[in-house]
Structure 1
Amino acid sequence: METARLAQGLHEHTAGFAEAVTGADPEARVPTCPEWPLRVLVGHIGQAHRWAADVIRSGPTPVPDPFDADPGSPGGWSDWLHEGAAHLTDAVLTAAESPVWTFFGPRPATFWLRRMLHDTTVHHADAALATGTAFEVAPDLAADAISEWLEVLSDPVAPTLKPAFSVLRGTGQTLLVHPDTGSGWLVTRTPEGVRWARAADTADATLAGPVGDLLLVLTRRLPAGRITITGDRALADHWLAHTAA
């Protein structure tokens, strides 16, 4: 996905997030992030954008605690959120394709734009669910978010970052994530870890539905009942239970 589209998506979902939280109770609990009140979710988004921008400009720093973020008064949340997204896109455009630090080794600066876009998209859904507002994600962004998440899960470093991912190893079991338009994702659980490819093959278990719903089910923002699961249900349930974003 081109840098311009990633940046556009980041600003679209930052704006949607800001709109979803406008006028809401800062202490309202977020159902899909049950340990967080809304003010912490807001703080996390603005904090994460600024942290990623600093990583691009200056190198790695410890991952900040969302509870330490200060988004300011609710009346200023929208401006603060937009400012953080602007800091990030400016840092990415300045760095161009220069390698920067990531959890997975040096990558182009666009790694952080893509990671923060998809993190913001999923948290936009969190905010919408918490405040009863509308949420939409463009099919191309939803599809790229699924690909990016599978890239994370299949990286050998992933289990060292989150040990629960190690249980995704298998002996050749396959899952097909099949959107109602376009090609799907064939996931294979090998002894070495997760492998995946864009494909439309049959699999031991298939998760099918609109690509936006698939993204939100895979990240546990919607219940599995929103999509159609066929084949080995236990395999699908195990995957969903151990891949929370």
Structure 2
Amino acid sequence: MEYGEYLDQIEHQASALRAAAVAAGPDVPVPPCPEWTVHRLVRHIAKVHNWVGKALVTDPSAPEPHPDRPPESWPDLLSWWDDQVGALLGALRARDPAEPAWVFAVAAEPAAAFWARRQAHETAVHRLDAEHAAARSDRADSVPALVFDPRFAADGIDELLVLMTPRRYRRETVTVEGTVLFHAADAGRAWLVTLRPGQPPLIGPATEVDSDASVVGTADAVYRAAWHRPSHAVVSGDRTLVDALRTP
């Protein structure tokens, strides 16, 4: 996807997230994240957007920037978040995709392009959380099945598996062994994850369909399943391998 497309997605997904959050109300639980209320969800995404705005103006070799503290009251929090989304988009639009910036993923190019992609998907996944909160349900069918365009959803699966999942395993150890196929049928893309005890997962394009477990469906459904959100994706084979593949 192109840089400008990610910025459009940030704006669109943030708007949809906000609408769902307001419809739900601040005290409603977030079914995919049982420990969260909508207030905490909005506080989280607002803080992330603020933090990324700081990362964009931080030298890649500098220490990690620290976000500001969001306000507590619901009206003030929503207003503050609106400001952070606007500032983030303004900062990204003012930068060349290759312009250096601080990033947390060592495998990623330390540039503005990383943050455009990361925030498009961060905001999209939490938009799902807000939609489930508004529906007051963790059932997959409580949120429309095709919220995300296949191309965008497939890009999100790739970003999660290739960049985000290996980062998780810098802190954790794989304890199971086997392969998991992720197949986004309508996008024509597939990935094979190889899990090896005591080693980081190996992730690459799938060249064959034989695997110990599989997650198959539309790109939208597989995107949700990869992030452990309610999904209509079909999970088959050794479910323990899929469950062991932790996401951030």
TM-score with structure 1 setting the length: 0.82
Which segment drifts farther, 20-29 or 116-125? 20-29
Which residue in 2 is equivalent to 1:211?
219
Q: Offset at 1:234?
A: 3.1
Q: Which runs of 5+ in 2 are unaligned?
A: 136-141
Cα distance change of structure 1 residues 185 and 42 upon mapping to structure 2, 3 Å threshold: same
* RMSD of aligned alpha carbons: 2.6
Cα distance change of structure 1 residues 116 and 72 upon mapping to structure 2, 3 Å threshold: farther
One-letter identity of the residue aligned with 1:55: A
Which residue in 1 is equivalent to 2:201?
194
Q: Offset at 1:207?
A: 1.1
Bigger relative contact order (CA 8 A; separation at least 6)? 2
> Deviations along 1:99-133, whole A, 9 cap, x unmatched?
21111245111111211111111100000001118
Q: Calculate percent identity across the aligned residue pairs.
A: 29
Structure with a larger share of its residues in helix = 1
Choose the corresponding residue for 1:220, options 206, 214, 228: 228
One-letter identity of the residue aligned with 1:237: D
Q: Offset at 1:177?
A: 0.5
CA distance in structure 2 between the partners assigned to 1:80 and 1:142 by the alignment: 28
CA distance in structure 2 between the partners assigned to 1:206 and 1:134 by the alignment: 23
One-letter identity of the residue aligned with 2:103: T
3-state DSSP of counterpart to 2:236: strand
Say yes or no: does 1:100 pair with 2:106: no
Q: Offset at 1:82?
A: 4.0
Say yes or no: does 1:180 pair with 2:185: yes
Paired residues, number: 231
Q: Offset at 1:154?
A: 5.3
Q: Which runs of 5+ in 1 are unaligned?
A: none
CA distance in structure 1 between the partners assigned to 2:93 and 2:25 by the alignment: 35
Q: Is the 8 A contact 2:174 2:201 kept in 1?
A: no
CA distance in structure 1 between the partners assigned to 2:82 and 2:28 by the alignment: 22
TM-score with structure 2 setting the length: 0.81
